[in-house]
Amino acid sequence: MKNICVIGVGYVGLVTGACLADLGNRVICVNRSKEKADNLHKGILPIFEPGLEEIVQRNYEAKRLDFTTSYDKGLRDAEFVFIAVGTPSGSEGEADLSHVTQCAEDIATRLVKPIIIINKSTVPIGTGDWVADIINEHRVNDVEFAVVSNPEFLREGSGVYDFMNPDRIVLGSTSRQAAEKVAELYTPLQTTTIITDLHTAEMIKYASNCFLATKISFINEMASICEALGADVREVALGMGSDRRIGPAFLGAGVGWGGSCFPKDVRALAHIAATHGCHPQMLRAVMEINQDQRKRVIQRLREVMGNFRGKTIGVLGLSFKPNTDDMRDAPSIEIIHMLQHEGAQVKAYDPVAMNNARKIMPQLTYCDSPYAVADGADGLVLVTEWNEFKQLDMGRIARSMRQPILFDGRNTYDPDKMKALGFIYRGIGRAAISPPAA
Ligand code: UGA
């Protein structure tokens, strides 16, 4: 059992803290908000993440997991401290490191015994060295420390599963010994561990997210070509993805990628590259295609609806993907904004993200069910593919609409079935005319 301090109780911090406690360690999570800490003591989590509440509760009751606003308390016995604070985008697309800086200073002034500082936040290449400089500059006691970069690859919505079943653990440090000590924390997970230098570990995180975003933008570009040529992008993805060199993951065409990671990380790597004299042409194209993908929803709807003035459009799903209440950079925001800008009345429903959505889009009509969204609408757009939407009585939906126009932004429904129910159906990258039956 190791003593671990985790700074930050967001998606990465809380999942890391709770899961490390579940692996048998004693973990204390530090954050600045008293309200969040008080709530966590009562079992109320600041985020929605499937399975997390149960792990938090179990480990809190077993006294392996605790929460505090006090850095002193958090660091007193810690052998390891994880930095898991936010790195939002700055005005130029660069990563804003103010939270990481503050965190490093707070650690430095409280160091009382040797410690390994592990960075889990996604930070620009070179930040590990810089954290070490801050510690050296601000530490009040002459204690030994090492900095390790340990990028996190978990996805929101499946964070606990991803933490417990990683494809690999990446550790970068100037101290091989420190990296090996961190590797021991993950031994129960029995996975491949890659130990490298700090810069390379930091780059692996950006390169991974950028590649995944590239795969999605690629398939979205293929979708546009499929539409023009009368092919079906879902089958194209299946055919391509069956090649082991390509792989089937992240080939789902849709309204584009969003969330708190891909948009910020692709922008940040493009910014870092440009400031170091490189020309990140591919990253720029990847972002541009993603932006266009949101506009395409409006263009395609216009083709069937004419203009939107005085029309009511229903939106199913608001979060940036299913199983999360996270609205950061959600495609729904821009799509709704464009519809409203062109005169549409928009009403929407999301199983869990409506509270967060209200803070960003107070002017929307929020409904208590998908059926209420469709009722009397001139068009319906599915933006987020929650499971709940796959089981709807689509016949009832079609009958309740003023015009049964369905834009399926995630290719969730069967076009032929939707047409049989009376919908004017449009998907992403799917032929307008169905191929002949085999
Ligand atoms: C992403 C990465 O997948 C994680 O490995 C990484 O740890 C995380 O960022 C991070 O940097 O913290 P996440 O943002 O939670 O995870 O969500 P994803 O499941 O990757 O989805 C991102 C976006 O891509 C969503 O908007 C989703 O709808 C979209 N997407 C995903 C597609 O449009 N098509 C696909 O086939 C897959």
| Encoded amino acid at 401, one letter | M
| Encoded amino acid at 154, one letter | L
Collapsed DSSP state (helix, strand, coil) of residue 270: helix
d(CA 113, CA 283): 43
Instruction: Answer whether residue 435 shows pLDDT above 80.
Output: no
d(CA 302, CA 405): 11
pLDDT for 122 equals 85
293: Cβ below 6 Å to ligand 1?
no
Instruction: Answer whether residue 212 shows pLDDT above 70.
Output: yes
d(CA 281, CA 48): 36
Q: pLDDT, tens digit, for every residue of 23-63?
A: 999 999 999 999 999 999 999 999 888 899 999 999 999 99
209: Cβ below 6 Å to ligand 1?
yes
| Residues facing residue 117 across a β-bridge | 81, 147
Q: Whose CA is nearest to atom 10 of ligand 1?
A: 261
Q: pLDDT, tens digit, for every residue of 220-247?
A: 999 999 999 999 999 999 999 999 999 9
- Contact criterion met (CB below 8 Å) for 436 and 416: no
Residue from 216, 318, 410 to probe ligand 1 pocket by mutation (most atoms less than 8 Å from CB)? 216
d(CA 381, CA 335): 10
pLDDT for 94 equals 81
In three-state form (DSSP H/G/I as H, E/B as E, the rest C), the secondary structure along 127-185 is HHHHHHHHHHHHCCCCCCEEEEECCCCCCCCCHHHHHHCCCEEEEEECCHHHHHHHHHH
d(CA 342, CA 305): 12
Instruction: Answer whether residue 93 shows pLDDT above 80.
Output: no
Rg (CA), the chain: 24
Residue 261 falls in the annotated catalytic set: yes
d(CA 61, CA 300): 53
The active-site residue, picked from 210, 226, 261, 367, is 261
Query: In the 8-state DSSP scheme, what is residue 5?
Result: E
Q: Cα dihedral sign for 362, 367, 369, 373?
A: negative
In the structure, what pLDDT confidence band is assigned to residue 140 with cuts at 50, 70 and 90?
confident
Provide DSSP, 59-74: HHHTTSEEEES-HHHH
Q: What average pLDDT does the segment 329-336 reach?
A: 97
How remote is the CA of residue 425 from the centroid of ligand 1, in Å?
Answer: 27
| Residues facing residue 346 across a β-bridge | 313
pLDDT for 141 equals 86
